[in-house]
Amino acid sequence: MSSIETTTVELVVNGKRYKRQIEPRLLLADFLRHEIGLKGTHIGCAHGVCGACTVQIDDKTARSCLHFAIDVQNSEIKTVESLATPEKLHPIQQAFHESHALQCGFCTPGILMTTEEFLRGNPNPDDDEIRKALCNNMCRCTGYVNIVKAVGLAATSMSAAENE
């Protein structure tokens, strides 16, 4: 019987370094969920289509189901768990809460991570720009109207906080 080949990888996730012995084919999404217990990253299609698994690799949104963990060892990974502190939701999360922008919540982590990068580059977007930014993140509950509203509210509250 042949044994499964494993290799040692080290990944920096949300500012913390993790060292694990894994199969080389392990996807980043599975590494996050099953090796280090960050279950906020969801897996929907596992084919790069739905956006549920969206994380940030070096501050750019990326599908974690399309990357091998072994390939991102020299990058900084951020997951939805990086957004809030124990005391406080991130302003984007607060805006989603206030706008009732989630139903089952399955798509939400990916949308939050996409929104975070989007608002860094465009702090005052209009609704069309928001819809375009989120066009690769599917919501099976189809709550898009409130999601767009929440991103607009997040932009407003983040800009106001910066100008204080």
Binding residues (CB under 6 A) for ligand FES: these are 43-46, 48-53, 63, 65, 102-107, 139-141, 143
Closest to ligand FES by CB, 57 vs 141, is 141
If phi > 0 it is left, if psi is from -120 to 50 it is alpha, else beta; for residue 153 that is alpha
Q: CB of 104: closest distance to ligand FES in angstroms? A: 3
The residues near 109 (Cβ < 8 Å, ≥ 6 apart) are 40, 41, 42, 52, 54, 79, 80
CA distances from 117 to 8, 56, 59 (A): 30, 8, 7
Closest to ligand FES by CB, 15 vs 64, is 64
Q: CB of 132: closest distance to ligand FES in angstroms? A: 18
Q: CB of 106: closest distance to ligand FES in angstroms? A: 4
Closest to ligand FES by CB, 50 vs 155, is 50
Closest to ligand FES by CB, 45 vs 160, is 45
Q: CB of 149: closest distance to ligand FES in angstroms? A: 14
> What is the Cβ-side half-sphere exposure of residue 75, based on CA atoms within 13 angstroms?
19
